[in-house]
Amino acid sequence: MRTRRLAVALTAVALGGIMGGTAAAGQPDPGPSAPSDRGGAAAAELDRGPSAASDGAAAAGPGRGPVVVTDAGVLRGATSGTTDRFLGIPYAAPPVGELRWRPPGPVARWQGVREATRLSPRCPQNTTAATSEDCLFLNVHTPKGAARGRDRLPVMVYIHGGALTSGMGGNYDPTALVENGTVVVTINYRLGALGFLAHPALAAADGSAGNYGLMDQQAALRWVQRNIGSFGGSPDRVTIFGESAGGLSVLAHLASPGSAGLFSAAVNQSGAYNLRLQSLADAKADGGALSAAAGCPDQTAECLRSLPASALLAKQQPIGFLQTDGAVLPTSLDKAFRSGEFNRVPVVNGSTSDESTFFVATNYDMVGRRVTAENLVAEISAMTGVPAETAKRAAQLYPLADYPNPAAALAAAATDATFACPALELDGWLSRWVPTYAYEFADREAPQLYLPPVSFPYGASHASELQYLFGIGNAAFPARLTAEQERLAATMRGHWTAFATTGRPASAAVWPAYTAARPHMLSYAPPTPGRVADFPAAHRCGFWSAVD
C-alpha cells in the first residue's frame, strides 16, 4: 500500500487543531483551526487554566523545593502532591540569530541555583499564547523524593503532536503516569518553518537541510541520557512516546541513526500517517517558494535569518515538514521498517477507531462546508490523496445507508486510508524485526473536549485517548470520564508504564505480541480491553493496502 501524505488541508488544519492554539499548560489546545462557540472567550479561559506547575509548584517558591544537579548547573523544582516537578529546563542553546536553522548547540552553564518552577514559552506558532524562538526547554516530573532515592526508575519521554507546527510539552500533565512509578519528561522543539525548513542556502556541509526540530528532540534525548539519573531515572530504560505528529516523530527516531542508543522502547499513537515523507529536493523547492513569499526573493541565508518569525508563520501553511535529508533521516520510514534498517527496540503501535471524525468536523461542519452524496467521491479524493477513479471505488465500500450522513462516511474512509491501514501495515513490518504490540483505542463514547457537536458522532476520534493517559481539561473544558472510562484509563496507563518498565505492556495472556501468524490487536473499549475481532475487514484494508 502506498502510505499517503495527508492532503495539505488535512495536515495543516486538522492535525494542528487539537494540539495547537491557545490553551494554557496542562491541557491540549483547541487550535486556531477549530472555530466554534467554544473559541473566543473560552480560549481566554484556557489561558488562565491550571498549568503543569499548578498550585504546589507556585507555592513552593525560591529555596523550598527539591534540588538536583545537572551538567549545566543546579536546579530547584517544586513539589505538588505526590510529584516533584522541574519545569523550564534548558537543554540546548537558544536557536536565535545566527543559530536559527542550525543544529541545536550546547546549553550555557549557569551559576547558583536556577529556579525550575515555571513553564517556558512555547516555540513560535499561530497562537494567542506567549511564544519565543528561545524555546528549547523540557520538563521533568518524578515521584516525590525520587531524586534522593536509591532506585532508578523507568523514564518516559513524551513528544507532543500538532502537525509539527503547534503545541508544547507543558500542555500535558503526566501526574497519573508518574504515580505509576515512572519519571516523565515532556519537551519543546522547533516547529513549522523554524523547525523543518529545507532551503539550499541553509544546507549543511553534507548537503542536508531541514529536520531541525527532529534534531532538537535528539538533543533532548541526549540530555536525558546525561542527566536523568540525577532525578531518579534510569538512562538505560527510556521509552519515547508520542501522538499524531509526536507519534510520527517517534517513528522518525526509530529510523534515524542519530537516535541510536538514546531510548530502549517506543510507543507510536496515531503517527503512521506519513511514512514516505517528503524528498529533500521537494522540500528545498518548497523552502525556496516560502523564502520568496516571506520576503527573501534573493534566497540568501542572511535574509532568511533576518525575517521575523511572524513572516515565516504567515507563509508556512503549504509547506510539508519532515523530509528524508540523507543525514538525520537517510531514507523514508517505510523503507527503513521494511528493510529492518532501524533502531530495533520493542514498539507499541496503534491508532483510534474513528480518527478522521475530528478532521471532517474541522474541515467541513465547523466551517460551513457540507459533504453530500454528490460530492462524496471528490471529498474522499481530496482527503486521502487518491485519484478520482480510486475514490469512486472506495465510496462503494462505504454505503451511505450504513452512516448517519455522507460526512460520517467520508470520515470512515479517511480513517481507514490515512491511519488504520497504514498502522496495520506498520505492525507487519515492525513485527518481523522487533516485539510489536498492536492496539486500537475504540471507546466511541470518549468525551470530545474541545470541539462542538456536529452532524455525526465523533466516536473514538483523533487524540481522544490522550485524556486517558494525561490530566487534561480545566474549568472551561473539564475532562469528564465515567467511572468505567476511568478504569479503562487506569488500565491504559498501567500498560504504558509496564512497557516502559519491562518492555512488555502486559502478560502474553492479556496482550500477546503481534505476528504474521497471530495478528493480535488489543482493543481499548469499556468495560475492559479485549481483542479486535477483524481489524483488516473493519477498516477495508484489503482495498486500501492495494492502492498505490
Q: Can you tell me whether residue 544 is helix, strand or coil?
A: helix
Measured torsion, CA atoms of residues 214, 187, 487, 34, in degrees rounded to the nearest 10: -80
- Cα distance between residue 213 and residue 24, in whole Å: 22
Place of cell 498502522: 423
Helix (H) or strand (E) holding 481: none
Catalytic-residue membership of 355: yes
Residues 6+ apart with CB under 8 A from 463: 18, 19, 28, 161, 243, 244, 270, 352, 358
Q: What is the 3-state secondary structure (H, E, C) of 410-464?
A: HHHHHHHHHHHHHHHHHHHHHHCCCCEEEEEECCCCCCCCCCCCCCCCCCCCCCC
- Cα distance between residue 275 and residue 256, in whole Å: 13
Residue of 133, 243, 355, 379 marked catalytic? 355
Residue of 141, 462, 495, 539 marked catalytic? 462
Catalytic-residue membership of 465: no
Q: Among 41, 15, 487, which residue's Cα sits nearest to residue 7? A: 15
- Cα distance between residue 228 and residue 185, in whole Å: 9
Is residue 233 a contact partner of residue 183, using CB atoms and an 8 Å limit? Answer: yes
Residues 6+ apart with CB under 8 A from 33: 12, 13, 14, 16, 17, 20, 362
Is residue 422 a contact partner of residue 1, using CB atoms and an 8 Å limit? Answer: yes
- Cα distance between residue 229 and residue 352, in whole Å: 34
Q: Among 547, 521, 319, 331, which residue's Cα sits nearest to residue 436? A: 521
Give the bridge partners for 74, in sequence order. 69, 113
Q: Can you tell me whether residue 296 is helix, strand or coil?
A: coil
Longest dimension (CA), the chain: 68
Give the bridge partners for 243, in sequence order. 269
Is residue 32 a contact partner of residue 20, using CB atoms and an 8 Å limit? Answer: yes
> 124: cis peptide before it, omega within 30°?
no
Catalytic-residue membership of 244: yes
Side-chain half-sphere CA neighbours of 64 within 13 A: 11
Residue of 36, 208, 244, 381 marked catalytic? 244
Give the bridge partners for 524, in sequence order. 441
Catalytic residue positions, numbered = 244, 355, 462
